[in-house]
Chains A and B, each alone.
Chain A
Amino acid sequence: MAKRIEATNVTAYYGGFKAIENINLTVEPKTVTALIGPSGCGKSTFLRSINRMHEVLPGARVEGSLTIDDQDVYDRDVDVTAVRRMIGMVFQRPNPFPTMSIFENVVAGLRLNGVRRKSILEEAAERALRSANLWDEVKDRLGKPGAGLSGGQQQRLCIARTIAVEPQVVLMDEPCSALDPISTLAIEDLMFQLKDKFTIIIVTHNMQQAARVSDRTAFFSIEKTGDPGRLIEYDNTQKIFSNPAQKKTEDYITGRFG
């Protein structure tokens, strides 16, 4: 259910601008890995290059190798859609499909993959919603628009939508930044449960959050504006927050920098 991700010399560009340079990092299965660092350091870019969402933007491209259980996702004859099915993604802002009901939102990914049987869809929707801790709140109004939920519920709906296709890896791009503290807590709890089944990589601006939810933490930084982001330090979360090896990391987490 969960897979190992290995990045080797990953460099990503937006047109002529180099956003990240030579990122080397290995993510173990069934762990939560947090990517932290100042704004513009390329942690979101790195996250988006894992499931090839980076190249959706015009002019954007990625170099280097990124493997998921020894299959390079940037290999020439790899099917992009297969990569994205295997590596799910939750975005910064909740983005349920506005024209779809809660139920349709959850099963959207399954429907895309040709699952038509109502019984399978219903079962999968319930399982995903339960996993996302949303089932009890929405089970009586599955036919209502997904956009009618509160922000936190919407984000959990998006998580349910992502895990409904049972991916191997779940990427989360600042999933709590648009949410209030209570919803944030709910999603953090959710992450603890989900890591039994999925490999989770989360980008966050909130260092307490990184400390609370992650097993491993990667600190990204840039020299100055316009430079590419680099991986400064990658270690166990406890080590990073208590006794970082790099001076830069220490400066950042103690608030002297950034």
Chain B
Amino acid sequence: MTTTLTPRRPRPPAQPATLRARRLPAYAAPVIAVAALLLAAALVYGAGIGGPVLVVVVGALLYLAGLFVAANAVEGRRSARNRTWSALIHSAFVLAVLPLASVVWTLVSKGSERLDANFFGTSMNNIGARDANGGAYHAIVGTLQQVGIATLITVPLGVLCAIYIVEYGRGRFAFTIRFFVDVMTGIPSIVTGLFVLAFWVLIVSPWFNDGRPGFSGFAAALALSVLMLPTVVRSTEEMLRLVPAPLREGAYALGVPKWKTILRVVLPTALPGIVTGIMLAVARAAGETAPVLLVAGGGAAINFNPFENNQSSLALFVYQQAGEASKYSPARAWTAALTLVALVLVLTVAAKLLARRNRLGR
């Protein structure tokens, strides 16, 4: 039936004449690389337009071009494309590793300079520009309290909101909430800081603060929870959706009311995933500087009361020390940065490990 449609061609366009293909020999790639580097060196130094860095860059470009031309001549266009893209993808990796490795190296080498008991035991109270000591105790206290309060506010709110979206929400209203949760995910952290500044620090808190703006750790916690809320809602929502329907139906069939089913069956099943999401949100909030800068007020002294007076945080401490003129402040900034990164990474690693053990995960 098909042969009547068109006259049979001698060989279909997609079929190779033979299985054999000419190949670039294994030594071709290194030879091209060396030739490209030599040519690049000759070009760069000959024209006097740069140093060794430029030689490497030009050499890499020449290598890609040379590889494509050689492969195109010997193996054909498709294989040449394959090789060139493969080389490009590998070079993207090398290109990105350099700065990231530099960041990590600087962080560790500079950050370990002040990694001592004094740093973790003292605040910056009464530390002048010529004092070599001084530490981040107050900032650590601030970070822990602010993030802790933010978590206490966000977790119940976020989980309940996700339960509404997944289990109860119907129609337009639930859709609207979902949509605005998405919108919230995109709100820059500085805007949440400005919001809490306008709403809490400048308008609400002066009522119980003798009319003065109430910068405080609690205000920072509010800003952080606005930041964390969408993340918690989205991750919880995803996890709840992964809970298999038969589990719910099994409970309904036993006559268990819906709310009990959700609390006793659905939530515990989804719990590891939800905790992972929360920990990632906490890790991100702990690293935020901008909102804290706007509403916590900073401050050099230890303040255990998050509801009154200025508080600092680790991220803010890094930023403030970065702006100081003292020759000792960079070391303090880097050590605080290292501490902050360690805190964030511990949370992230724990979250990822938990996610790996999650039975619901894909």
Contact = CB atoms under 8 A, between A and B. Distances in A.
A and B touch in the complex (CB under 8 A): yes
Contacts of A68: 19
Contacts of B78: 81, 112, 114
Interface in B43-80: 77-79
A130 interface: yes
Given A110-B14, A120-B13, A166-B14, A73 B19 contact: yes
A24 interface: no
Contacts of A112: 14, 78
A79 B19 contact: yes
Interface string B15-31: 11011111100000000
Given A123-B6, A127-B2, A82 B21 contact: yes
B13 A110 contact: yes
A126 B13 CA distance: 16
A120 to B, nearest CB: 7
Contact of B5 (A78, A109, A127): A127
Interface residues of B, number: 18
B19 A78 contact: yes
A140 interface: no
A55 to B, nearest CB: 15
A82 B12 contact: no
Interface string A57-88: 00000000000100101010111011101100
B117 interface: no
A123 B7 CA distance: 12
B100 interface: no
B1 interface: yes
Contact of A131 (B2, B16, B18, B21): B2
Interface in B278-333: none
Given A114-B78, A130-B5, A77 B13 contact: no
B13 to A, nearest CB: 5
Interface in A120-163: 120, 123, 126-127, 130-131
A113 B14 contact: yes
Contact of B15 (A78, A131, A166): A166
Interface residues of A, number: 30
B14 A130 contact: no
Contacts of B13: 110, 113, 115, 120
A193 B2 CA distance: 10
A37 interface: no
B20 A77 contact: yes
Interface string A80-117: 01110110000000000000000000000110111100
Interface in B101-136: none
A71 B1 CA distance: 31
A86 B2 contact: no
Contacts of A167: 15
A175 B22 CA distance: 35
A187 interface: no
B6 to A, nearest CB: 6
Contacts of A164: 14
B14 A85 contact: yes
Contacts of A123: 6
Interface string B76-99: 011100000000000000000000
A113 B13 CA distance: 8
B6 A127 contact: yes
A208 B12 CA distance: 35
Contacts of A75: 19-20
Centre residue among A83, A85, A112, A168 by max chain B CB count within 10 A: A85
A118 B22 CA distance: 30
Contacts of B23: 77
A19 B316 CA distance: 60
A202 interface: no
- By Cβ-Cβ distance, the 6 closest A-B pairs, closest first, are A79-B21, A166-B12, A165-B14, A82-B16, A113-B14, A78-B19
17 contacts: A71-B20, A77-B21, A79-B16, A82-B16, A85-B15, A86-B16, A110-B14, A112-B78, A114-B77, A115-B13, A127-B2, A127-B6, A130-B1, A130-B5, A131-B1, A165-B12, A166-B15
Interface of B: 1-2, 5-6, 12-16, 18-23, 77-79
Given A85-B14, A86-B16, A114-B77, 9 more contacts: A68-B19, A77-B21, A78-B21, A82-B16, A115-B13, A126-B5, A130-B2, A164-B14, A167-B15
